[in-house]
Amino acid sequence: MCGIFAYAMFRGGVGVCKACGCTCAVKGTSKKIEFRRAELLEYGRKLRHRGPDWSGTFSDTNTSISILMVHERLSIIDPFGGSQPLVHILPSGHKLVLCVNGEIFNHQQIRAETQDYPYQTNSDCEVILALYSKNRDNLQTVLEALDGQFSFVLYDGERNKIVAARDPIGITSLYYGRNITDGSIVIASEMKSIPPEFDMIEQFPPGCYIEVENDVSEMKTSDYYSKSRKGAWRGRYLAGDDGMIDYVKSQDNETVYGKLRDILTAAVKKRLMTDVPFGMLLSGGLDSSLVCSIAMKLLNEHKVKVPWQDTIHTFAIGLEGSPDLEKAQEVANFLGTYHYSFKFTLQEGLDAIRDVVYHLETYDTTTIRASTPMYLLARRIKSTGVKMVLSGEGSDEILGGYLYFLSSPNDFEFNKECHRRTSNLHKFDCLRADKSTMSWGVEGRFPFLDDDFIDYAIDLDPSIKKFNNAEKFVLRKAFDVTDENGQPMYLPSNILWRQKEQFSDGVGYGWINTLIANANKKYSDDEFTALQKKYVVNPPSSKEALMYREIFESIYPKRENTVDYWVPRTDWANVGADPSGRAQKVHAQAYSVEAHKSDN
């Protein structure tokens, strides 16, 4: 992961600046590019938290698209030789220039298939240049070949064209804007690097690309993933035909368990690709514990080689006495990891809220609740020298693991909600996981968001996903395996079958209680009613939501359209609007939302 900032303009000159993880294009002529160079570099520097290891630049003002590219790098693969922007000189003498935020996990395979390309580095990202140089008229072919988490911008100097794309799930954050009047575009990993003159800003859609030539008004976003051989699930969802979002009804359960286990194991293995120290986020819940367990098994069986360490380092955070800290230590003891258990105080969490809103660029309640401890944990992880971590994001969306899913009226609606949640991951869990960790220059990788895992798991029969009201039953059952001595091969039963705790709950039940109480003290009922009316787009439904919204507006005015709210399906029986898992009646320590409000 890195930071990318790009500045570009058509019809009279474009400047493009990049910082790995973000791409921006801002209005200006070629003369203005040089005049504004220092100012533009400052926008790139706003992303240096994403890429603290090195900076690189490229500029060209001699074409119809004048361009300045700046790359802020976090080095994970080929740390000494893989600096960006990457440049390939075509036979015509023109240049292809690439900046990437992310990782291409199948880069070795692509290298073997593109041996005639003159590779200059061992960077996984350079394969994008190799593929593009051979398929310049068919970007679909380039993108279908990539297995990874990425967003990138590529400048084709021969064709005076800019290409940008984002991975199918939207794991790496990306925004874009355009100005039809002066012919400029902006593409950025984070909004903070976008100059204030751009007011038409949106999230770049996952699984899509743009090719821009001559005029920004001609820019079109193309969906490549739904058309690819891997994109069946997304194609069904985007088609808008509810009848197409159906599940596979007839399967042998034991076959499903075995295949699910194999696919997830392969997903973990490919994400252990690194040239630097790495670790695992370990909450003690099912998803992160399984990822750790699989990784340890691969390491113990010598199926992967990792540098710098002979065991896996795991990290957990919580309030004093939190459920996650206790369970995470239990899992670490069982697996034999080198474990770090960090505690934070309620005041430290409250003090970090404004920084979290700044880095996350959201005012969504559940995202901020969960991001704050993750943001604090990433800072602790950075202090240990670890630069990359694996985590368990995505399982709940794909497998219907949130407790409100148990209230679905029927299997069809259950599966439809899996599709909706998975397609919106880039707005919530991916945004949280990417920006919380990258705030401190730590890259996150997410095995459950592997293309093959999603394609197989998302349309499994809901009855096997929620059998006997055990959320994610199929995943638990797939890894409920013992050895010849009857000992669990992956996790002990009390962890494997532990009820779902959303991260904001698991770090300690006092965390959400304190956030709600703090907001209730900040605003009277009359103040809340008056301030609520200020916001036409996404009006806050609670004092807590209003508190976050006011912070967001003070940092990112007029950019409210870039955010959505994470809300359970309140149209389902017995499902309330509070995103906390404890707000659902099936939770072992459920609380009454109304009673909770009256207590604070």
Query: Which of the following is catalytic: 20, 99, 125, 292?
Result: 20
- Terminus-to-terminus CA distance in the chain, angstroms? 41
Residue 53 tokens read as: 């290891």
Question: Phi-psi region for residue 153, left (φ > 0), alpha (ψ -120 to 50) or beta?
Answer: beta
In sequence order, the 6+-apart residues with CB closer than 8 A to the CB of 526 are: none
The span from the CA of 216 to the CA of 317, in Å, is: 46
> Secondary structure of 186-255 in the HEC alphabet?
EEECCHHHCCCCCCCEEECCCCEEEEEECCHHHCCEEECHHHCCCCHHHHHHHHCCHHHCCCECCCCHHH
Q: Could you identify the residue written with the tokens 């075995």?
A: 258
* Residue 281 assigned to a binding site: yes
In sequence order, the 6+-apart residues with CB closer than 8 A to the CB of 223 are: 205, 207, 208, 238
- The amino acid present at 183, given as its one-letter code, is G
Residue 101 tokens read as: 């935020």
The span from the CA of 334 to the CA of 131, in Å, is: 44
Q: Could you identify the residue written with the tokens 């679909």?
A: 140
**Burial class for 185, CB neighbours closer than 10 Å (0-12, 13-18, 19+):** buried
* Residue 391 assigned to a binding site: yes
* Residue 542 assigned to a binding site: no
The span from the CA of 574 to the CA of 382, in Å, is: 42
In sequence order, the 6+-apart residues with CB closer than 8 A to the CB of 14 are: 7, 8, 25, 28, 30, 33, 64, 65, 66, 67, 162, 184
Rg of the chain (C-alpha set): 24
In sequence order, the 6+-apart residues with CB closer than 8 A to the CB of 525 are: none
Catalytic status, residue 24: no
The values of phi and psi at residue 68, to 5°, are -130, 120
* Residue 464 assigned to a binding site: no
Classify residue 163 by its DSSP letter: E
The span from the CA of 193 to the CA of 71, in Å, is: 13
Contact by Cβ (8 Å): 402, 581:
yes
The span from the CA of 9 to the CA of 212, in Å, is: 10
The span from the CA of 470 to the CA of 403, in Å, is: 9
Residues contributing to the annotated binding site for ATP: 281, 317, 391-392
Residues contributing to the annotated binding site for L-glutamine: 124
Residues contributing to the annotated binding site: 124, 281, 317, 391-392
Give the residue numbers annotated as catalytic, written as ranges. 20
